[in-house]
Structure 1
Amino acid sequence: MNNAAVGSLILACCCVAQCWWRKTKDRRKEIKLRKKYFKGKLKEQNFNQEEAEKTRLFTEKQLKDATDNFDEDRTIGKGGQGTMYKGMLSDGKLVAVKRSSSLDETQWKEFINEVIILSHVNHRNVVKLLGCCLETKTLHLVYEFIPNGTLSDLLHSPNKEFRVTWDIRLRIASEVAGAIAYLHSSSSAPIYHRDIKSSNILLDHKYVAKVCDFGISRSTSIDQTHVTTCVRGTFGYLDPEYFLSNQYSEKSDVYSFGVVLVEILTGQKPMRVTLDDATSLVMQFINLTDDSAIYEMLDPIILASNHMTDDIMVVVNLAKRCLHPEGVGRPTMMQIAMELACLSKKTHVKVAASSEENISDPSNDFIFPENHIDETYSF
């Protein structure tokens, strides 16, 4: 190799090294600016030290260590929005780490804004967002780990040894409604979920409902009146009014919750696809006016509680109100939550009274078998 060739090779190596050094320097600068912005937003919102520590910034190394470098064996859920991994932090705490799409630099500020808001949502029926990682182009979100699968799993892949009775279903519906009402009305800025569905309702080891997946791993849009996400939602759950107006509101969440209520009542999926066509469960449900026809659609398990028939019909009518074609005709989530809470309390009293009469009936107890735990997320 002549001197000119050697010189050219050295020059090329120097250029590559300089380019790598410059990119590394720029990347470190970007990360530093993100962290500075993150801490600045915490101070701007007047969070004290204790509150600020609730929103953690995880390093890329911490998340790799927690998930064995995102090993496939740690996967607990996959979907169009990313992959969820089960992880364990250095202190032994179990977490769910979501890795999804990347954002460009113009979207990072919005992402950080929403992370801060949602990480301070404090409700027993909302999955806790513990923090995020700002060191990578790919989004990494860290949630508390919920061990017992989803409401979709419970309804559509039931355990034969575990009967999902009416009182259990009503309690879960009431918990979900209360969580969404809290997001709409009680947090610092109203939050619209925009992707409410049974697979976004997790269940803990006691089958307590936990609403999850607010869509912050997608591109976000924040204004001064509410927090929302640029989610198109899920087929079968989307508000038909949204298709016409392209305007999402709290009543759109109400419609999606109405679909979940129909799932709870019937034990069937929102869309049933056959070789001939796709049938909408919701359209079939809202078009029924005869009580006997409605009873035929209901899950036989809940009809086994004959003394609950009136309460079941109350929820049937509530679901129809939620599914009104126009948002103005639907109740608010707060109204729904109050109605379901009262009904759930009354049902619990009935179940307790029935248990005293027939204490040997296991279907009336809130005791759940350990062998039904399923460490799977579906989203």
Structure 2
Amino acid sequence: MHAGSISTGMEGKILKTCGLNIFTEQSLKKITCNYSNVVSKGYFGCAYMGWVDDNTRVVVVRFILPEEAGTGSIMNGLLFAHHISHKNIIRFVGCCLETDVPLLVYEFAANGSLYDVLHGDNGKCRLSLDSRLNIAIGSAEALAYLHAAGTTQRGYGNITSNNILLDHNFLPKVSVSFLESIKYAESLKYGIVFATAYVDPVYLKTGVFITKSDVYSFGIVLLELITRKGAEYRDGATTRSLLIEYTKVWKEQNSGKPMFDKEVAVEGSIAILEEMGKLAVECLKEDVDERPEMVEVAERLQNLRRDWKHGEVGCGSSHAKEETTGGH
């Protein structure tokens, strides 16, 4: 359907001359033990664990794509993924062009997703405030990099805590696949909306992802980091929206303290949690023009960490912009 024509045509030759690491289908079967080790499976496709020659673990992803996904968009996506280089973006190792849809090979993130670490059923992993702030900064820097690298103002979509992966040192690795973006756009086109709590309401009105849509989604992730509650979470028999509940508390008390995760909401940490909450509220503004750009989000989080290390948070630190949170 897609990749077969890429493999045998001029596009395949171009990809190979660009230095893209091309795997054969047979080699990927060997790497994944004939696709026997399934990491995840769902609407977007299936991911398999594998090992390359130097015993480095990788993940091989087989996406399910719509028929209208042409070879041109796939080829452009492969080239873009190949040239992306950022410590906080999951590394694209290579691909296989012999299958109908290219099989993509990525580095393996040992600690799974941020969602699993924060909300997993197998017991919560302890996560210090310092680690949470570092995860927020790294993820914001990755998105700022992607926005700067893009040629349009279109966002990437599907920015969730499930798509922020963590390596063995809990360094965040944002997983943004161009094929997943194609599939995600298709799902929304047909009204199949996953992770609705992360979706920018402006997108639902316009049908267009913009960079500020990613900012909105990142705002939800920030709230997850400071509350350790899912974007939608269970409260007894009730399912609650983190955005609605946090906004309600913020409006009533001008503080998010009642919702902060008690594990990190200790003396000396409340001020930094408040600042992270303020920034999240700004990212979640209904008016896209009132939302900061991702580069500003990253800078403010960096400044927040610097001021925190110097004991200056809550004392008129440089990143605090309370005037922009009016009405919340």
State if a TM-score over 0.5 links the two structures: yes
Measure how far apart 1:345 and its partner are.
2.5
For structure 2, the residue ranges without an aligned partner over 5 or more in a row are 189-193, 313-328
Is the contact between residue 167 and residue 348 of structure 1 (CA under 8 Å) also seen in structure 2?
no
Is the contact between residue 125 and residue 176 of structure 1 (CA under 8 Å) also seen in structure 2?
yes
Q: Which amino acid aligns with 2:146?
A: L
CA distance in 1, matches of 2:149, 2:4: 37
Partner of 1:38: 12
Matched, 1:298 2:271: no
Is the contact between residue 102 and residue 139 of structure 1 (CA under 8 Å) also seen in structure 2?
no
Partner of 2:23: 58
SS at match of 1:289: helix
Q: Which structure is larger by alpha-carbon Rg, 1 or 2?
A: 1
Matched, 1:131 2:105: no
Measure how far apart 1:217 and its partner are.
4.1
Out of 256, 261, 266, the position equivalent to 2:217 is 256
Measure how far apart 1:216 and its partner are.
1.4
CA distance in 1, matches of 2:277, 2:144: 20
Partner of 1:361: none
CA distance in 2, matches of 1:281, 1:255: 13
Matched, 1:337 2:298: yes
Partner of 1:214: 177
- 1:1-379 to 2 correspondence within 5 Å? 30=5, 32-34=7-9, 36-40=10-14, 52-53=18-19, 55-71=20-36, 74-102=37-65, 104=67, 107-157=70-120, 163-186=126-149, 192-217=155-180, 219=182, 230=186, 232=188, 234-273=195-234, 278-287=239-248, 288-291=250-253, 294-304=256-266, 306-350=267-311
Measure how far apart 1:88 and its partner are.
1.2
CA distance in 2, matches of 1:116, 1:142: 14
Measure how far apart 1:91 and its partner are.
3.9
For structure 1, the residue ranges without an aligned partner over 5 or more in a row are 1-25, 43-48, 221-227, 352-379
Is the contact between residue 38 and residue 47 of structure 2 (CA under 8 Å) also seen in structure 1?
yes
Change over 3 Å in CA distance of 1:172–1:348 after alignment to 2: farther
Q: Which amino acid aligns with 1:38?
A: G
With 186-195 and 313-322 compared, the bigger mean Cα shift is at 186-195
CA distance in 2, matches of 1:161, 1:269: 13
| Superimposed CA distance per residue, residues 31-50 of structure 1 (whole angstroms, 9 cap, x where no aligned partner) | 5434x3133367xxxxxx7x
CA distance in 2, matches of 1:327, 1:134: 39
What RMSD, in angstroms, separates the aligned Cα atoms of the two structures? 2.9
| Superimposed CA distance per residue, residues 98-155 of structure 1 (whole angstroms, 9 cap, x where no aligned partner) | 0121565861221111011112110000001122211111441111111111111111
Q: Which amino acid aligns with 1:250?
A: T
When normalised by structure 1's length, the TM-score is: 0.73
Measure how far apart 1:350 and its partner are.
4.8
Aligned length: 306
CA distance in 2, matches of 1:261, 1:239: 15
Measure how far apart 1:210 and its partner are.
0.3
Q: Which amino acid aligns with 1:345?
A: R
